[in-house]
Amino acid sequence: MQLWVGLGNPGSKYAGNRHNIGFMVLDRIAEDHGFAPWRSKFQGQLTEGKLDGEKVLLLKPETFMNLSGQSVGEAMRFFKLTPADVTVFHDELDLAPGKCRVKQGGGHAGHNGLRSIHQHIGADYARVRLGIGHPGHKDRVSGYVLADFAKADQDWLDDLQRGISDGAGKLAQGDSSRFLNAVAQRTAPPRSSKPKPKAQPKPAAETPPEDTRSPMQKLMDKFS
């Protein structure tokens, strides 16, 4: 059994925020793969289902981002899971919009949701880092992550969610390479390998045959 956690803030006010991309991704997985209805549990919203034969619990903590670890720790203890069974989906400022990376363990890099999870279960859990880009200056970060995605972001955001849902079964099986490949198929589809037809060269203008007649013959032919 695995526990997948999406980070975000509860309530309609925050639903479209960049900080809530973790919630968005879990919603897409649950919808596409026929998971059970969401229910209130462990200070969050919980659902369960199967991905390529693996039982997976999806959890969206409703404790607000800074206290996410309370919900995660409670669920982990109830199901007798270890940090190695936990995967957290979260927004990542240090990745370009639409990029996705998988990481095992490590620091929290100042992310308040990850910091809280570190405090409750340690650092030995997996993360799926979802790029949202950086506003350019650290003083603008808070306003940036708590603002909604722009209309111009909707295409790559949808492609990213679809790619993650496509590859969810591979992630559940521990195959992060094939998972990331599924994401890339949506976010950066390969160009057609079909060679473009070569332009046909224009036919050369016909050159009139060389006139080999003598001047006298030309004159005679003119008056004949």
Contact between 182 and 167 (Cβ < 8 Å): yes
Reported in sequence order, the residue ranges of the chain that DSSP labels E, i.e. its strands, are: 2-6, 39-41, 44-51, 54-61, 86-92, 100-104, 126-131
Q: Which of 19, 90, 111, 118 is catalytic?
A: 19
Q: Is 108 a catalytic residue?
A: no
23 contact partners, CB below 8 Å, separation of at least 6: 6, 7, 8, 15, 60
Query: What is the CB neighbour count within 10 angstroms for residue 188?
Result: 13
Secondary structure letter of residue 195 according to DSSP = P
Angle between helices 154-172 and 176-187 (to 10 degrees): 160
The whole-angstrom separation of Cα 92 and Cα 170 is 22
28 contact partners, CB below 8 Å, separation of at least 6: 161, 162, 164, 165
Contact between 46 and 59 (Cβ < 8 Å): yes
Which residues are designated catalytic? 19
